[in-house]
Structure 1
Amino acid sequence: MEFQVVQVSSLEKVRAQDSLRRDEIHKKTVLAGERLSYQICMKADSRMDVAVSVESGLKDAVRLYMVQDAYIDVPAREEDMEGEDYMTLEPGFMPDILVPLEEQGNQLAVTSRTATVWVKVDVPRDTPAGDYRIKVRLLPVDMQAAKASAAEDAAFTVCQVMDVRVIPASMPEQRLIYTRWFYADCIAVQHDVEIYSEEHWELIDRYIAAAADVGMNMILVPIHTPPLDTAVGTVRPCVQLVDIEKKGDRYEFSFGKFRRFIEICKKNGIRYYEMAHMFSQWGAKCAPNIMVTENGKTDYMFGWHVAADSKEYVAFLAQYIEAVSKELEAEGISEQTYFHISDEPTLESMETYRTASDIMRPLIGDSKTFDALSNYAFCENGLIECPVTSVEHIHEFLEHDVENQWAYYCCGPEKVFPNSFLAMPSYRVRVLGFLLYKYNIKGFLHWGLNFYNSCVSKYPINPYVTTSGDKAFPSGDPFILYPGRDSVYGSIRGEATYEGIQDMDVCFALERHIGREAVVAMIDEAAGRNLRFDDYPRNREFLEGLREAMVEKIEKLSAAAG
């Protein structure tokens, strides 16, 4: 029986039909506190079940995953995409889903189609500098069951070795504020549980933990159901955390569910919080859908039927934001909280956005406002503190040296720029980190952590059948987490984004020794150009080579300072 095995970079995407003739890797140098990921890809000329185990002084830091395919139903929506740096422009399968191997009894089936184990090593921050070896043993299950002799066992066992050098320096704390929008309603629908039942709370905990595991340190908090991707005149399942009762001209607010949600976030390492948008999407014309109890009846007192600047809603907001702000202060998170006004306003809606901004900003105290928008006129008019700008338009903002500049991508751009669509190679995801560092971007936002609906949430979708919101978006755009049976699975794209954030952290670690200007010069020199969001090397060698050079320099300078 022929059994092929290769150990490759995390930036490879090895599809089922691909050859295993790849550049192998067996050595990595890391900082203490850094995550190292790589892949072991296998094929056999007839089916065999393989048991996977780890031997290493870092064994407790190693997690193993089986890579499963996701279905690409919409590789891209634009025309004339040839040469636009996609792995495929045809519907089909792409490796992406990371299923903990322990769920499979630490075994996987190997056939003539590629089977891949994703190895994730979170090197502890207190790991002494030195050399460590990670040995992954691959043993056919029938040999294991037969209790073969040591000699026979060795003859049929394949070992893949990774030599890890930990340098005498540690990763700095993540500076980037990173969020992908969290949808509690999609969790309840996908897992068929009652909203805010104990089962739902347990799943919320798991999803937030999975988000934090790939670098997210900010969460969208549904104080009311976020007015996002909802068809005009409709409602999404209500996930409002704040219970509200109207008594005359006064409102009473109960924060029990809110406090439980924040407790889960804190437990999982979330440090920053974004409150659900206070006005409708794409123009701030209406109030969001907010449930209120009055005279024993609970219904949507506010929503599409209420103008954003109505006296009733403005009066409500004054009391609502005051009560929310007191809770934020009690939780000790006021200064780490950001308030949304309205998502993606256009120039045509600037006046309605101005009205909404004028209503909100005097109410929020130490908190900040931020929104996704891509026209600098909003900044010129003083309507936003932290603009979150599409990478497609960000260089216009960068020319003005905005103090609290954020970046995002959403549904596009599909050409040239970085993004995280399924059909893109992983280096197009990871390059974001060096770009964010070079241009001193404070935060990154994406709209889809776990959006499992069709466009404008007309109906739920099966994320294992469509990864495009039922042909509304390029595949992969709506989510980087996949629902498991009673769990949640990560993705290669989520890990690639986190590797980019770690690249950014490595830049900050080197900056301590040589200064920011020298680090930026090193990035541009490695790129062979002025690195821009619309102009960067289209290969993994640039990313891995630059990171390796930076770590080597940190090691030498740390030793010299030592």
Structure 2
Amino acid sequence: MMKFVYMNFAFFLLAVFVISACGHQKKAEIAIQAKKENEKKYLSYEEPADPDSTDLSEWHAVTGLKAGFGNVDTRYTRSQPPAVDPENLSWTTYAWKGERVHTQLLLWSDAAIDNLRVEWQSLKNADGGEISSEYLKARFVRYLLTDEFAEGCGYRKPEDFKVALVADAIDEVGEMDLKAKTTRPIWVSVDVPRDVPAGSYQGKLMVYTGDQMAIEGAISVTVANAVLPSPSEWDYHLDLWQNPYAVARFHDVALWSEEHLAYMKPLLSMLADAGQKVITTSLIDKPWNGQTEDPFGAMINWTKLEDGNWEYDYTIFDKWVAFSEQCGITRQINCYSMIPWGNKFFYFDQAKNSRDSIIAEPGSEAYAAHWKPFLLDFAKHLREKNWFDKTTIAMDERPMEAMQGAINLVKSTVPEMKVSLAGAYHEEIQEAIYDLCIASGEVMPKAVMENRISQGKPTTYYTCCVEPYPNNFTFSPPAESTWQAWHAAHKGYTGYLRWAYNSWVKDPLLDSRFRSWPAGDTYMVYPEARTSIRFERMREGIQDYVKIALLRKKLENSKETTAGQHLETLNEHLRKYEISALENNAAGNMINEGKSILRKISETVY
């Protein structure tokens, strides 16, 4: 009976905790909404002037508001009329159930027009089927400053590089003014429900100026019988590193407060909706020596007690991981890093009553003395939280000898602990690494890759400031973000890593340039969970990767005589996705050809 009372009391406390937590979260969201009302720059802001807008001669042929559908491979210039047909006011597309498809609608005018907004109808087919208007979006594309690849990595002064205005951020603002002699792209997207019947669906999109409808366009979506799984089920190991510290700085809120997490929630949810598999955590302070505008702090507080033993406070780590899981990122936890730049480790010394640090090289006695107690305690804590099996000790781009020293210590201390690495390929250590991500220019032996994949080990590649292409800079051709997943399908990789999802620069809405790398290298999305052309095209590529895998499986298991021909056609096309091919062939051309092949096969096998 007493046990029953204790259990009921425990359930009561849990209910109180949940209600309290939900209440705090709701209050935080209300506070943020009030803050948004007071800080209009987060909702509507003035874009930079175009550094190259002196020639406006092409506007002499434009009279009044014009509109036309363009494509998603082009970054349209704000200060020039777009090269699209103003009579082309229909968009026709094809999609699997569960797929997101998109295009750009262009608006331009020689005279200023106030209060532009876009509305749309549900899409309907002849049999009464419907794609509700809630699955359609039309959002204004924003402009900001970018630069050029030049030498890639390395410190750069803004005045030494070409600067330009570029379209990238996709805003959620409900309406916008159109200045005279400017172009405004609108990102139009449809998320096809998984339960909608196959068929052809039609609807309308309307552009209003105030209360007056000025433009009417048509949308037609042919929905296939094939179904794309939900993002959480996508078999693509997406690993974009999250930076919660940048969010706290930009929004001027206390780190790890309810307000901070409320700002993080839509960012992480958007990332989970792209199929993200990994939670980025930092074991120590400044694992990358503060290379970003907002350095990563330690999510675990290390304290050296007066008796020489260690104490570890996991409060922030636990809060961040649990919160990220609630947002939908649940597959893996990567913990950085046992090999920081400079091998400097900070902690609080209880005897000195002050912060202290040591420098210890991997493989040394001092290094082992510092890390071994932590690894034992950390493993125990992870097991108590049921996180051990999905946690890795993560490293990136460190010398092989240092990585060997760290890996040996991990495996000798907690043999079952997983290790992840993003860096050059080293045959000597690959077997010990669970999650291995190599640079795009590296080569992994085919037998090694096949063996790793057969063991269920994530085996991916990454790009950074080294590669001029394919890449995700704000000046990169948008199709390159899609091309990366096709390259993964060709090479056999299980996914892709990029080091920065939201390591924002000082003013990420206005200027994507950074002191060390080409513009846009440090972030893919924008404050207030604004997505981007780059991010949407990346997600599109991941959808294609999943479709390729499903179609291959269908064809390999099919007894139809044409299955082999379709499979060879697909494989022959995928063989084109060598990085060197981008020297002479635009990514968009390759992707569009590939999508035609996928459609033809889909219509045959489904």
Give me the TM-score of the superposition, normalised by structure 2. 0.76
Aligned to 1:344: 397
Q: CA deviation at 1:494?
A: 1.0
Aligned to 1:96: 168
Q: Secondary structure at the match of 1:372?
A: strand
Aligned to 1:85: none
1:387 and 1:360 mapped to 2: Cα distance? Answer: 16
Higher alpha-carbon deviation: 198-207 or 498-507: 198-207
Alignment of 1:51-450 (within 5 A): 51-56=117-122, 57-77=131-151, 90-102=162-174, 106-109=175-178, 111-141=180-210, 144=211, 156-172=213-229, 173-225=233-285, 227-230=287-290, 239-247=297-305, 248-281=307-340, 286-287=343-344, 289-292=345-348, 294-295=350-351, 297=353, 299-302=355-358, 305-341=359-395, 343-345=396-398, 349-364=399-414, 366-379=416-429, 382=431, 384-394=433-443, 396-398=444-446, 400-401=448-449, 403=452, 404=457, 405-414=459-468, 417-450=469-502
1:274 and 1:228 mapped to 2: Cα distance? Answer: 18
Q: Give ranges in structure 2 of 5+ residues lacking alignment.
A: 1-62, 123-130, 154-160, 558-563
1:64 and 1:351 mapped to 2: Cα distance? Answer: 52
Compared CA separation, residues 482 and 319, structure 1 to 2 (3 A): same
1:399 and 1:410 mapped to 2: Cα distance? Answer: 26
Q: Deviations over 1:3-31 (max 9, x none)?
A: 21111222222121344333766211111
1:46 and 1:363 mapped to 2: Cα distance? Answer: 70
Q: Deviations over 1:498-541 (max 9, x none)?
A: 111111011022123103987763345447x6432322541424
Tell me if the contact between 2:400 and 2:426 (Cα under 8 Å) persists in the aligned partners: no
Aligned to 1:491: 532
Q: CA deviation at 1:376?
A: 3.4
2:420 and 2:279 mapped to 1: Cα distance? Answer: 14
Q: Deviations over 1:147-190 (max 9, x none)?
A: xxxxxx5xx53122221122222113311111122222222222
Tell me if the contact between 1:408 and 1:446 (Cα under 8 Å) persists in the aligned partners: yes
Higher alpha-carbon deviation: 326-335 or 185-194: 326-335
2:328 and 2:369 mapped to 1: Cα distance? Answer: 35
Does residue 100 of structure 2 align to residue 48 of structure 1?
no
Q: CA deviation at 1:377?
A: 4.2
Aligned to 1:83: none
Q: CA deviation at 1:72?
A: 1.0
Compared CA separation, residues 116 and 350, structure 1 to 2 (3 A): same
Q: Deviations over 1:79-100 (max 9, x none)?
A: 9xxxxxxxxx942111001111
2:565 and 2:437 mapped to 1: Cα distance? Answer: 27
Letter of the structure 2 residue corresponding to residue 68 of structure 1:
R
Q: CA deviation at 1:557?
A: 1.5
Letter of the structure 2 residue corresponding to residue 468 of structure 1:
R
Q: Deviations over 1:252-303 (max 9, x none)?
A: 3333322221222112211233433233346xx624x44336259352445x
Larger radius of gyration: 2
Compared CA separation, residues 245 and 136, structure 1 to 2 (3 A): same
Tell me if the contact between 2:110 and 2:182 (Cα under 8 Å) persists in the aligned partners: no
1:440 and 1:214 mapped to 2: Cα distance? Answer: 20
Q: CA deviation at 1:237?
A: 5.4
Compared CA separation, residues 408 and 258, structure 1 to 2 (3 A): same
Root-mean-square deviation (CA, aligned residues, Å) is: 3.0
Q: Secondary structure at the match of 1:114?
A: strand
Compared CA separation, residues 519 and 187, structure 1 to 2 (3 A): farther
Q: Give ranges in structure 1 of 5+ residues lacking alignment.
A: 80-88, 145-152, 454-460
Compared CA separation, residues 226 and 138, structure 1 to 2 (3 A): same
Letter of the structure 1 residue corresponding to residue 163 of structure 2:
P
Tell me if the contact between 1:134 and 1:163 (Cα under 8 Å) persists in the aligned partners: yes
Alignment of 1:472-551 (within 5 A): 472-483=516-527, 487-515=528-556, 521-526=568-573, 530-535=576-581, 537-551=585-599
Tell me if the contact between 1:452 and 1:462 (Cα under 8 Å) persists in the aligned partners: yes
1:29 and 1:538 mapped to 2: Cα distance? Answer: 22
2:462 and 2:242 mapped to 1: Cα distance? Answer: 15
Q: CA deviation at 1:110?
A: 5.5
Q: Secondary structure at the match of 1:401?
A: helix
Q: Secondary structure at the match of 2:188?
A: strand
Q: CA deviation at 1:422?
A: 1.9
1:242 and 1:539 mapped to 2: Cα distance? Answer: 43
> RCO higher in 1 or 2 (8 Å CA, sep ≥ 6)?
1
Letter of the structure 2 residue corresponding to residue 469 of structure 1:
F
Does residue 84 of structure 2 align to residue 9 of structure 1?
no
1:216 and 1:340 mapped to 2: Cα distance? Answer: 17
Tell me if the contact between 1:272 and 1:333 (Cα under 8 Å) persists in the aligned partners: no
Q: CA deviation at 1:221?
A: 1.4
Compared CA separation, residues 229 and 494, structure 1 to 2 (3 A): farther
Tell me if the contact between 1:59 and 1:134 (Cα under 8 Å) persists in the aligned partners: no
Aligned to 1:21: 83
Tell me if the contact between 1:223 and 1:275 (Cα under 8 Å) persists in the aligned partners: no
Identity of aligned residues (%): 19
1:119 and 1:322 mapped to 2: Cα distance? Answer: 51
Q: Secondary structure at the match of 1:188?
A: helix
Higher alpha-carbon deviation: 163-172 or 290-299: 290-299
Tell me if the contact between 1:66 and 1:108 (Cα under 8 Å) persists in the aligned partners: no
